[in-house]
Amino acid sequence: MNRSAAVFRETSAEPRTESVPFSHLSLELGHLYMEDFVEGPARLRRHFAAVRPWVDAARAGLGPLGTGRRPRISTCFLIDDYFSRLSTPAELIPPLLAAAADAGLTIDYLARESGCAVADPAHRDRAELAESVLHRLVESPPPGSNGFRPPVSRTGWLTNGRRAPARRTSAALDSTGTVWQPPSETGARGHSVFMDVELWNGPDDDRTWSCAFLASVWQLVRLGLLRDNGRAVLTPTPFDDQEFPAEWDALPPVLRLNPQAAPFTAYVTCSVLPARFLPVEHAVRVILDQVHVEAEALAQIAERSAAEGFAVPAGVVDRTSYVFPPGL
């Protein structure tokens, strides 16, 4: 009688990181606050009219692929429904899409900023995305640091260098001769551009995540680098309905509005934003530079991009780019 042999596999040998499809470029057409939408359709038309030439430039700047194929480019737009909800999806989204169309632009994917905090909050498999990115932060210790500074998980503040000493001292009163020192940027070239970024405020059990931190999550999702226990997160939901709902929570975190759109996630991103977002995106780059990304997710991108002959920077932060058009 034949007996079936027992087969043993190490858990580490099983695939753990879900694969996602990739465009070459994820092109963000804007990120507006609710207050911007309240100004009406004319405000939206001005926005997309100013964005249009820079979108064309970003597309042209990507260039053709070495194989002669056309690059895959998808567009997206992020709506702030996290910090305020002055209008409903049914009232806000149709004029937004119409204004984009008037400028000759198509929004392939529409995303809600609240989804960058908690994806699918009503679902039993809800993913605490902001919390998971917080746990992935690996602070870069500045030269000469002594571990006195509390960790970011306690303070909610992340910096790109060494802070000035917190206590006031005087050479006349301090026997050690310690005097005030200015803050300094790690890896500064000549002069420092020091930044201290607030990631959240409020109590630990009811945090309000900062715009900069949620924007960092947004970049990681667009780059296809964020997973929840190996599962892909914020996977776009096809929008087949004729009307948008009256409640934001009834809307999936990411909608695919264009059935023919290239994939939502991409090897690199470009965001066309109003100039007021420049300090926020500077903070985003400080955060991304200190996020530990799963090796398997990075390996998947490296393998696929190499097969296509498409060069992807090694550093995560270097995969992002921005345009801040004047007058936007």
Does residue 170 surpass a pLDDT of 60? no
Higher pLDDT, 9 or 77: 77
pLDDT tens across 299-326, in order? Answer: 999 999 999 989 999 999 999 999 999 8
Indicate the pLDDT class of residue 17, thresholds 50, 70 and 90: confident
Higher pLDDT, 6 or 71: 71
Q: Which of 118-122, 212-216, 239-243, 251-255 has the lowest mean pLDDT?
A: 118-122
- Residue 10 has what pLDDT? 44
Mean pLDDT of 1-19: 53
pTM comes to 0.88
Indicate the pLDDT class of residue 178, thresholds 50, 70 and 90: low
Segment (H or E) for 306: helix 295-308
- Residue 4 has what pLDDT? 41
Indicate if the alpha-carbon torsion angle 122, 83, 50, 46 is positive or negative: positive
Q: Tell me the domain boundaries of the chain.
A: 16-135+201-323
User: What percent of the chain has a predicted confidence (pLDDT) above 70?
Assistant: 85
Residue of 170, 192, 178 whose CA lies nearest to 146: 178
pLDDT tens across 191-205, in order? Answer: 888 889 999 998 888
For residue 54, give the amino acid letter: W
Neighbours of 171 (CB within 10 A): 11
Higher pLDDT, 153 or 73: 73
Tokens 């905090």 correspond to 117
Strands (E), the chain: 23-32, 73-79, 109-112, 157-159, 161-162, 184-185, 196-198, 200-201, 208-209, 227-228, 231-232, 237-238, 254-256, 266-272, 320-323
Does residue 141 surpass a pLDDT of 70? no
Mean pLDDT of 154-175: 70
- Residue 12 has what pLDDT? 47
Highest mean pLDDT among 30-39, 84-93, 292-301: 292-301
Mean pLDDT of 200-218: 92
Mean pLDDT of 232-243: 88
Q: Taking each helix axis from N to C terminus, what angle separates 89-102 and 41-62, rounded to the nearest 10 degrees?
A: 50
Does residue 16 surpass a pLDDT of 60? yes
How many angstroms separate the CA atoms of 175 and 110, rounded?
A: 60
Does residue 179 surpass a pLDDT of 90? no
Mean pLDDT of 163-178: 58
Q: 234 is written with which tokens?
A: 């914020």
Neighbours of 30 (CB within 10 A): 25
How many angstroms separate the CA atoms of 133 and 228, rounded?
A: 10
- Residue 6 has what pLDDT? 44
